[in-house]
Chains A and B, each alone.
Chain A
Amino acid sequence: MGLVIHQEKIDPAAGEKLVSICPFGAISYDGKLHISSACKMCKLCVKKGPEGAVTFEEEAPAAVCNKDEWKGVAVFAEQRRGRVHPVSLELVGKARELVKVTGHPVLALLIGSNVREAAEELLSYGVDRVYVYDDPALQDFVITPYANAFADFIERVKPSSILVGATVLGRSLAPKVAARVRAGLTADCTMLEMKENTDLVQIRPAFGGNIMARIVTPNTRPQFCTVRYKIFSAPEKEAPHGEIVSMALPAEKLAGKTEVLRTVKKPEETDISDAEVILAVGRGVKSRDDLEFIAGIAEKLGAKLACTRPLVEAGWFDAKHQIGLSGRTVKPKLIITAGVSGSVQFAAGMRSSDVIIAINNDPNASVFDIAHYGFVGDLYEILPKLAEKMGG
């Protein structure tokens, strides 16, 4: 399987066209066409290039597993000291939407020690079956026993899709388990849809740029994905109808080569993830000194100050203030962006905010595509005048 170059169909003009089509600079032409290892298999050369010049040859069609053997949308319910992480409840909400297409049950996997109450809480959010691995050895997050429990759940329950919160724990555990069961894993999905054939459609920003990708796992099960906190919404509580299923692991599977020495509560710090109002700034801010007047305006608005990745890379802000796929996801009641161009990376971290106001002097900035209210103008003029009107 792969790209096949048909040199006989490629004249210099066709060669040049193909070189220009490739977004990754993987194609070169020197009388013969070459495709280098920079190729990302986007197949644009096949689709947009001269007819028949480069073709995509499939080998024997890939073996498809029996999808009927895999049932249910499972949520990994992350908990600590018995408290279910809110991202897991949001995923339960999404799972309930997804199963409307397939009629599958909503499942939850709970791993920990003394987690009966957490299991009951999950039922009250409409989970059909909560599978519980409850053992003192699972009190702290230790990678091997957690992965063993997760893999045991997959082997015995055979869920079709598995949704995991993209927390530090989830992003550490999900890939380990996915590698073990050789499952496809898609990180940080921002939208999920279900096909009737139980293929999970996973949508996320891709290629590091302003592009969304629809990703599917057509031939294998289970299909794994992680989703950030505050992308979806938790469902309303309801009268529980589901059941709790106790699971157990043999002692040797509860041991690992890691010993937790201690866990210390982190000092409280202001976290932009929980802010109700945010003022976010980007490269439109000309100098670090200007942050002072901007911080003053944030204070007047009762807003937390946040920023885009370039300002963190410039050392102007701590990474904790960064919004975006590689920073925090936020869902405030109001976000005002000033001097932010609005890359997909950034947008992925804030597009579900209730009200988005964007200020940018470039009318073509992509931030205006996601803003509810766009102000085409200079932040250095608009913000001080706004502050004036607000008094003080």
Chain B
Amino acid sequence: MDLIVCVKQVPGTTNVEVDPVTGVLKRDGVAGKLNPYDLFALEAAFRIREKTGGTVRTLSMGPNQAVQSLRETLAMGADSAVLLSDRKFAGADVQATSYAIQSGIRAMGGFDLILCGKQTTDGDTAQVGAEVAEMLGIEHATNVSEISEITKDSITVTFSLDDVLQMQKMSLPCLITLEKDAFTPRLPSFRRMKAIKEEQITVLTAADLPGLEEKRCGLKGSPTQVEKIFPPEKNSDKETFRGTSDELSETLYGLLKAKKFI
């Protein structure tokens, strides 16, 4: 079975602020980390490989630093990794991101199953997996919490749909996104990290992707555009209390009582 896991390097912190005076984004220079939700997709792929044999390849898009996250996937047990990195991909929205990723997948040759985390911790859209699947012309399932069977041409998965659990059998090739905690992810191995060979990681630019339409990439290929960024509105209708803990707990008690919560 040929498995591809899509991963993303996300900021190590979500502590981003807008300077209220200048409107400039303030972001600490904290190192990136592997999107935590991707760990469950990686683990699912490793377990499938243990059963069926085959390879697990990881794919990411991002700046050169994202190689670090790909090395982590190799240390966990991936066979090889591909990074799509080009300024032409910058400013991509969901559609342009998905387009670049599906171009990368096409360049990687055949596959039986693509696995993704259910979302990232920075973009939080949870949409890229499904768009990639549509662009590749395959079906998908999101938020998969269980894989009960995998054969050479099908996979049986369960996911939560509002108040029911739906179990369905899907034809391969297809794409699934994994729910958090679907599996307990393994840790990267220090021994494997030491043994990583440079040739296990391939960096591809836009020019390396056959048939890529540049007008569908990056900001240019993004139908949605950020008009403005701004700090969130503050609640103007508010009261702040300070004092000793006795005073504060008394005020809080009185407030809850006056509002009939107790």
Q: Is A163 part of the binding interface, using a Cβ–Cβ cutoff of 8 Å?
A: no
User: Given that A210-B16, A371-B238, A389-B249 are contacting pairs, would A36 and B87 also be in contact in the complex, using a CB cutoff of 8 Å?
Assistant: yes
User: What 0/1 readout, one digit per residue, does chain B (214-229) give for beta carbons within 8 Å of chain A?
Assistant: 0000111011111111
Q: List 22 A-B contacts (CB under 8 A).
A: A23-B16, A23-B25, A36-B64, A37-B62, A37-B86, A38-B62, A171-B127, A176-B131, A178-B127, A182-B223, A206-B229, A213-B226, A223-B224, A258-B170, A261-B156, A263-B161, A333-B261, A343-B14, A347-B232, A368-B240, A374-B241, A376-B241
1/0 contact string of A178-210 vs chain B (CB within 8 Å): 111011111110000000000001100111111
Does A233 touch B at the CB level, under 8 Å? no
The yes or no answer to A296 lying at the interface (CB within 8 A) is no
The dominant DSSP class at the A interface is: mixed
Q: A263 and B166: CB pair below 8 A?
A: yes
Flag if A208 contacts B219 (CB, 8 Å): no
Query: A: which residues have CB within 8 A of B?
Result: 1-2, 21, 23-26, 35-42, 44, 48, 59, 62, 80, 85, 140-144, 147, 167-169, 171-176, 178-180, 182-188, 201-202, 205-220, 223, 256-266, 277, 301, 313, 319, 325-326, 333-334, 343-345, 347, 355-357, 359, 363, 368-378, 381-383, 385-386, 388-390
Q: Are B223 and A184 in contact (CB under 8 A)?
A: yes
The distance in angstroms between the C-alpha atoms of A144 and B125, with both chains bound, is 21
Cα A26 to Cα B66 in complex, Å, equals 13
In-complex Cβ contact of A179 among B36, B98, B233 (8 A): B98
Contacts of B142 in A (CB 8 A): 168, 171-172
Residue of A nearest to B149 (CB): A261
Indicate if the CB atoms of A386 and B253 lie closer than 8 Å: yes
Contact with A along B82-121 (1 / 0, CB 8 A): 0001111111011100100000000000000000000101
Question: Cβ of B131 and Cβ of A178 under 8 Å apart?
Answer: yes
Where the two chains meet, the residues of B that have a C-beta atom closer than 8 Å to any C-beta of A are: 10-11, 14-18, 22, 24-27, 29, 36, 62-65, 85-91, 93-95, 98, 119, 121-135, 139-143, 156, 159-171, 174, 180-181, 218-220, 222-235, 237-243, 245-246, 248-253, 255-256, 259, 261-262
CB B165 to nearest CB in A, in angstroms, measures: 5
- A210-B17, A373-B241, A375-B241 known; A261+B232 contact, CB < 8 A: no
